[in-house]
Amino acid sequence: MKDEIIKILQKTVEPLGIAAISVALDFPENAEHGDYTSNVAMTNAKRLGLKPVELATKIVADFDKLVNKSSLKGLIKSVAVAGPGFINFTLTAEAVSKNVQEISKELNGSEGSKGQISNIGAGKKVLIEYSSPNIAKPFTVGHLRSTIIGDSIARILSATGYSVIRDNHLGDWGTQFGKLLVAIEKWGDEFGGLDGIKKSENPIKILVDLYVKFHDEVAIMEDSEDEKLKTEAEELVTLARVKSKILESGKDPIISEIWKVCVDLSMHEFALIYKRLGVSFDPKRGDTQIGESFFVTPYKINPVRDALNAKNLLKDSEGAKVVFFGSEDPKLWKLPPLIVEKSDGTSIYATRDLAADLYRINTYGKGLILINEVGAEQNLYFKQLIETETMLGWFTKGQRLHIAHGLYRFKDGKMSTRKGKVIWLGDILDEAVTRASKINADSANDVAVAAIKFNDLKRDSIQDIVFDWDEMMNMTGDSGPYLQYSCVRARAVVEKAKGLGISADTSGARPNIPQLDLLERYLLRFTHTVEFAGASYKPNVIANYLINLASLFNSFYAQVTIADKDSVTGAGSQDSGAAYKVAVTQVFADVLERGLDLLGIKVPEKM
């Protein structure tokens, strides 16, 4: 309907000298201002030498004439000029009703098309990289945010017709492995060696402890007065460097084997976390979990070096190879230079990213849209990386994005100090489940996950989050559990009506109830809200829509009898519209459930 109005509006304004592409429709903030609004008169009036209101009035008159000759005849109740020159469109009750049923049909559509909300992304391929935790390190709350946001964007893009590749870019390489290898060799026996670590209850924790121990011990030795200890510290650091070089060469089977064990242990741990979160990287769907290690071979790195050299981008700087931006003169730098090769010739984070992105273009084609969801602490790095890739001609504007997320802050200090400095995600999930089981013992995991995910997705990803259990679990405010509950409640209304012999049906008269009218009109915004969320890569657009939607339903539910036994006997005052109200309630539940699914949130059967 929205698209049809845009078409007619375009036809209206073109003869007035206004380009069709400048015509857009927005949703008014205030429902009293109608269903759609356009600022086309305000943006074009000056150029045409008119006052915005004058131009708007002219457009409205012409629009009315065209509409009456179109398929929209009888479906638009009013077109009015408002404020400084807005044009507001209000649909008739009949149009609203018809369109609400359309949504319901689409959501419950034929098998195969089910789940598809729009096809604005048809023909476009996007690779979204997210989660990307590090091997033998804790899965941090930063990785949690990346997982939640990335998974939701992938769901939204795929529901709007894009072909989506989900990629988990595991951090399984880098100098930290050298340190870990030294630590395992030196102190691993305390835990029964590698075998003992493998069999222990929490192997990753031991690996992390060993890694931390390496740093602590080296720091103590470096600080000591004893020259012998100072030398020993230096030796350990050198040894770690040598080990990571040997690992990279692949020439020592024992070192490679230890590394492989660490990878397997970590992958096992990550798989458990993804399962709890309802997130998956499914090869059958075309998803990949390729670690950085995949990109360290000369076979992958050399083409990157060649490409950089071909464009004369690789410059020597203190033994390393770097890319400059704008100028080699520090005063004229657009960005600080990016190191792509260390002086010892080993690869670095950036080299592996360039190799990964070249591999992705070669695998998925040059039109690929490539997104990394990674914390804001890597903002500068991603600017450098994307700028380099743009200079290489790999991507054009809009095709290469870094979506950043802010930090987690802990209001309740307890969570961060209980087990040392590291915040273990498993502990957060356990705590969430404990709290959620007070809300819903049968589906505690689903409620816990909803609380954590919604708390993240309701805000712009770049914002920091203050971790506040009460806010997350709030059953009356803007929380995941509140939305789950709203959906379950709506389903219960439909079930109860069914028990009374009233089933959803819109063929009868549409009852004239303001709360119902508002709810239906808001339901109409669903498709475009999802499209907008996809086009702007912002799940919070959907999250906020769902909160408003649920609150409209909840006032309808609180103030209007939807269906009770009087509706059947005809004794009640609301009887005529019961079937209609039940139908809208059902569409509401369907839309809410689908919207939550786009956020990666499941709705329990009962609550």
- Name the site residues for ligand ARG (rule: CB under 6 A): 129, 132, 134, 169, 171, 353, 372, 374
Q: ∠441-445-447 over CA atoms, to 5°? A: 75
Least spacing, CB of residue 210 vs ligand ARG, in Å:
19
CA atoms within 13 A on the CB side of 275: 6
Q: Is the dihedral of CA 14, 19, 20, 25 positive or negative?
A: negative
Three-state SS string across 167-213, please?
ECCCECCCCHHHHHHHHHHHHHHHHCHHHHHHHCCCHHHHHHHHHHH
Enumerate residues 6+ apart whose C-beta is below 8 A from 228: none
Shorter beta-carbon distance to ligand ARG: residue 215 or 565: 215
Least spacing, CB of residue 353 vs ligand ARG, in Å:
5
Shorter beta-carbon distance to ligand ARG: residue 147 or 440: 147
Helices 444-457 and 141-159: angle between axes, nearest 10 degrees = 90
Q: Is the dihedral of CA 579, 582, 583, 584 positive or negative?
A: positive
Least spacing, CB of residue 458 vs ligand ARG, in Å:
24
Structure tokens at 559: 């103030």
Least spacing, CB of residue 120 vs ligand ARG, in Å:
27
Shorter beta-carbon distance to ligand ARG: residue 171 or 539: 171
Three-state SS string across 44-99, please?
HCCCCCCCHHHHHHHHHHHHHHHHCCCCCCCCEEEEEEECCCEEEEEECHHHHHHH
Shorter beta-carbon distance to ligand ARG: residue 132 or 158: 132
**Residue-level length of the chain:** 607
Shorter beta-carbon distance to ligand ARG: residue 403 or 589: 403
C-beta nearest to ligand ARG: residue: 171
Q: Which amino acid is at 489?
A: R
Least spacing, CB of residue 355 vs ligand ARG, in Å:
11
Least spacing, CB of residue 129 vs ligand ARG, in Å:
6
CA distance 350 to 354: 6
Least spacing, CB of residue 542 vs ligand ARG, in Å:
25
Shorter beta-carbon distance to ligand ARG: residue 161 or 178: 178
Shorter beta-carbon distance to ligand ARG: residue 374 or 483: 374
CA distance 125 to 366: 10
Nearest to 494, CA basis, from 569, 588, 573: 588
Least spacing, CB of residue 374 vs ligand ARG, in Å:
4
Least spacing, CB of residue 563 vs ligand ARG, in Å:
52
The total of other beta-carbon atoms located within 10 Å of residue 486's CB is 24
Shorter beta-carbon distance to ligand ARG: residue 400 or 528: 400
Shorter beta-carbon distance to ligand ARG: residue 446 or 456: 456
CA distance 162 to 118: 10
Q: What are phi and psi of 410, to 5 degrees?
A: -105, 110
